[in-house]
């Protein structure tokens, strides 16, 4: 019998593969039996450093659920690999680190499993903004928040002192400081507008009160070209046009050199900045200070996020329950949260983060209140909804703002938002999403 049907089976399999209906997952997995003594091994894709050491602590206590960490290059390549594996029907890990802005994309590709049954009770352990990032405002739970990246402002205290400045409390003060510093030394800039870092610009728009995507009934709405974001774009475009801040991308050898030789004397960044500065600006150790973000309205302090990710279970996992157990432990157990902070060098999303982070990061050793500032910033995070085509919006940002930054014209910055809005909406419509408005 077996051999008789073999060719037919092969043909059917080939046909299934060919027509791309490789949605093998959901059906079979829900029937999985959960024998408590069953030994399972899980794979975990992450790019946070030393995550294998964190997993080792779990493995030591859970001999039946062994987690193997598979180090990834970073957020984007990992997502590309995961989406390819989902499309192919096999090859995805059980557990996956997923940046908040990628979660709608991954959910839309049916890559992330709903673990509400196993992790839904963790809601109160996380700030509302982070939790919203993993539920997308629904009853489903597509992961547990792992780390967050509240925006903060970093500056060279020595340069500020020399120019008689203190840390800017508002964006107006930031602009004044930028002008003063650049006038005093034409080689020095308080910052740069980087067209390669869409994530930072998104965070700045978030701080100003924008939320680029939204759900209205059963349709997506897109609001990129809107007053709050326009205000942010016009502000940075104005600074670039005046020439008081630089227009070159961040994360280039040149930018590293500029941080290290004191020509870039400030950085609007996020809580994880010390790790970057330690690598790029090692000669300036001890000269930097961290501060809360400059504000649009000092009376109503707000901040946005740059980076941050959740840990999710993939739809291809054969052991979703066990995977969800590990994911819950990793991000909410006090011991694990401490390991995340100390070994993996992330700023845990958990409300317990403040209690495990007592001493400041090495690069800011003199600043005892470092994590107090970060905790305050976490609380002031504005809500922001990501949509299913963040990548499209981000690559439109790269192209449009790259041209704008090169042209050094404030008007080009605000026009770029129109391009981003159009590209993003067109893409959604073309794919068949319901789009409101």
Partner 1 sequence: MTPSASTTARRPVGRRAGTPYAFLAPAMILFVAFLAAPIVYAAYLSLRKVKVSGLGLGAKSRTEIWAGLDNYARSLTDPDFLPSVGRIGLYGLIVVPTMLGLALLFALLLDANRTRESVGKFARISIFLPYAVPAVVGSLLWGFLYLPRVSPITDLFEAVGITAPELLSRDLTLWAVANIAVWGGTGFNMIVIYTALRAVPLSLYESARIDGASEVAIAWRIKIPIVTPSLIMTFVFSLIATLQVFAEPMTLRPLANTISTTWTPLMKVYRDAFTRNDLYAAAATSVIIALATFILSFGFLKLVGRRAFNQED
Which residues sit at the interface with partner 1, rule CB under 8 A? 18-21, 23, 25-26, 80, 83, 87, 104-105, 107-110, 136, 138, 140, 195-196, 215, 218-220, 247-249, 251-254, 257-258, 261, 263, 315, 388-389, 391-392, 394-395, 398-399, 402-403, 405-406, 427, 430-434
Neighbours of 392 (CB within 10 A): 20
Q: How far apart are CA 320 and CA 312, in angstroms?
A: 10
Question: Min. distance of Cβ 201 from partner 1 in angstroms?
Answer: 14
Question: Min. distance of Cβ 88 from partner 1 in angstroms?
Answer: 12
Q: Which is nearer to partner 1, 256 or 295 (CB)?
A: 256
Question: Min. distance of Cβ 338 from partner 1 in angstroms?
Answer: 34
Question: Min. distance of Cβ 181 from partner 1 in angstroms?
Answer: 18
Q: Which is nearer to partner 1, 214 or 301 (CB)?
A: 214
Q: Which is nearer to partner 1, 50 or 385 (CB)?
A: 385
Q: Which is nearer to partner 1, 67 or 195 (CB)?
A: 195
Q: Are 258 and 139 in contact (CB under 8 A)?
A: no
Q: Which is nearer to partner 1, 89 or 249 (CB)?
A: 249
Beta strands 305-313 and 144-156 are: antiparallel
Determine if residue 164 is left, alpha or beta; phi over 0 gives left, psi from -120 to 50 gives alpha, anything else beta: left
Question: Min. distance of Cβ 435 from partner 1 in angstroms?
Answer: 10
Cα angle value 282/204/140 (rounded, 5°): 105
Q: How far apart are CA 16 and CA 92, in angstroms?
A: 19
DSSP-derived 3-state class of residue 258: helix
Q: Are 137 and 257 in contact (CB under 8 A)?
A: no
Cα angle value 151/418/309 (rounded, 5°): 30
Question: Min. distance of Cβ 240 from partner 1 in angstroms?
Answer: 11
For tokens 């969800």, name the residue: 324
Q: Computed over its alpha carbons, how large is the radius of gyration of the chain?
A: 23
Q: Which is nearer to partner 1, 161 or 261 (CB)?
A: 261
Q: Are 146 and 307 in contact (CB under 8 A)?
A: no
Question: Min. distance of Cβ 433 from partner 1 in angstroms?
Answer: 5
Alpha helix locations (H) across 120-197?
128-135, 157-162, 171-184
Q: Which is nearer to partner 1, 90 or 252 (CB)?
A: 252
């Amino acid at each position: 019998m077996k051999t008789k049907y073999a060719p037919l089976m092969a043909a059917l399999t080939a046909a299934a593969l060919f027509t791309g209906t490789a949605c093998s997952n959901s059906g079979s997995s829900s029937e999985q039996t959960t024998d408590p003594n069953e030994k399972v091994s899980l794979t975990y894709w992450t790019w946070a450093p030393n995550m294998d050491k964190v997993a080792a602590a779990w493995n030591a206590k859970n001999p039946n659920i062994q987690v193997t960490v598979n180090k990834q290059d970073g957020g984007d390549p990992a997502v590309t690999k995961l989406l390819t594996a989902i499309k192919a029907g096999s090859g995805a890990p059980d557990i996956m680190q997923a940046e908040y802005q990628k979660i709608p994309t991954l959910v839309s590709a049916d890559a992330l499993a709903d673990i509400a049954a196993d992790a839904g009770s963790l809601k109160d352990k996380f700030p509302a903004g982070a939790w919203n990032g993993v539920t997308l405002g629904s009853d489903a739970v597509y992961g547990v928040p792992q780390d967050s990246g509240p925006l903060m402002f970093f500056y060279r205290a020595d340069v500020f002192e020399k120019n008689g400045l203190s840390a800017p409390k508002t964006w107006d003060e930031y602009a004044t400081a930028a002008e003063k510093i650049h006038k005093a030394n034409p080689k020095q800039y308080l910052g740069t507008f980087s067209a390669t870092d869409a994530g930072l610009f998104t965070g700045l728009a978030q701080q100003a009160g924008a939320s680029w995507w939204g759900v209205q009934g059963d349709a997506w709405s897109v609001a990129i070209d809107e007053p709050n974001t326009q205000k942010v774009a016009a502000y940075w475009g104005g600074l670039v046009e005046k020439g008081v801040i630089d227009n070159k991308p961040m994360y280039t050898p040149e930018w590293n050199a500029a941080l290290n030789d004191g020509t870039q004397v400030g950085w609007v960044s996020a809580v994880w900045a010390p790790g970057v500065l330690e690598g790029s600006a090692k000669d300036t150790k001890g000269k930097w200070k961290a501060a809360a973000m400059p504000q649009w309205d000092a009376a109503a302090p707000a901040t946005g996020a740059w980076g941050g990710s959740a840990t999710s279970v993939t739809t291809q996992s054969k052991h979703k329950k066990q995977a969800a157990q590990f994911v819950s432990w990793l991000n909410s157990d006090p011991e694990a949260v401490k390991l995340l902070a100390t070994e993996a060098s992330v700023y845990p999303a958990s409300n317990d983060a403040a209690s495990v982070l007592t001493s400041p990061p090495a690069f800011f050793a003199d600043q005892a209140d470092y994590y107090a500032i970060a905790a305050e910033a976490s609380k002031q995070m504005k809500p922001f909804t990501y949509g299913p085509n963040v990548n499209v919006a981000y690559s439109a940002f790269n192209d449009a703002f790259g041209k704008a930054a090169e042209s050094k014209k404030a008007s080009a910055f605000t026009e770029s938002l129109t391009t981003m809005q159009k590209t993003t909406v067109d893409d959604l419509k073309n794919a068949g999403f319901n789009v409101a408005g």
